[in-house]
Amino acid sequence: MALEESHVRRAAHLARLAVSDDQASGFVDDLSRILDMVDQLQSLDTEGVAPLAHPLDATQRLRADEVTEINQRDAFQRCAPAVENGLYLVPRVVE
């Protein structure tokens, strides 16, 4: 499955990653080589094999629906780039 620059552009957009024109061609080369290597998978017959998501086939554990966390907003916001009155500041989204 050949990789085109439009694929890299789309992935960069979905991943919210700014990629300059100069960088894009480099990523096309690198990612093409990686996907060429990955494409070896296609030669393997996996008919009837179930996908494995967890190495021990475990399923998600459930717990009682109880409040277990205490409010630590101030502690957690100490490492934020910009906060005001307990709110995270970002550029204006709504005019």
Partner 1 sequence: MHDKTVTQLAAALKSGELSSRELTSHFLQRIEKADGTLNSFITVTAEQALNQAEAADNARAAGKAGKLTGIPFALKDIFCTQGIKTSCGSKMLDNFIAPYSATVVEKLNAAGTISLGKTNMDEFAMGSSNESSYFGAVKNPWDLTAVPGGSSGGSAAAVAAGLVPAAMGTDTGGSIRQPAAFCGITGLKPTYGRVSRYGIIAYASSLDQAGPMAKSAEDCAHLLNVIAGHDVRDSTSVSRGVPDYTETLNAPLSGLKIGLPKEYFGDGLDADVEKAVLEAVKVYESLGATVREVSLPHTHYAIPAYYVIAPAEASSNLSRYDGVRFGHRCDAPADLIDLYTRSRAEGFGDEVKRRILIGTHTLSEGFFDAYYTKAQKVRRLIRQDFLDAFEDVDVLMGPASPTPAFDLGAKKDPVSMYLQDIYTIAVNLAGIPGISVPAGFSNGRPVGLQILGTHFAEAQLLNVAHQFQQATDWHLQRPAFAEEIA
**Can you give the binding site for partner 1, defined by CB under 8 A?**
1, 3, 7-8, 10-12, 14-19, 27, 30-31, 33-35, 37-42, 44, 46, 49-56, 58, 60-61, 63, 72, 75-76, 78-82, 88, 90-93
* 71 HSE (CA, 13 A, CB side): 3
d(CA 69, CA 35): 42
Identify which of residues 72 and 85 has a Cβ nearer to partner 1 in the complex: 72
- Quote the least distance from Cβ 62 to partner 1, whole Å: 9
Contacts 24+ apart (CB under 8 A), 59-68: none
- Quote the least distance from Cβ 89 to partner 1, whole Å: 9
- Quote the least distance from Cβ 60 to partner 1, whole Å: 6
List Cβ neighbours of 2 (8 Å cut-off, separation of 6 or more): 32
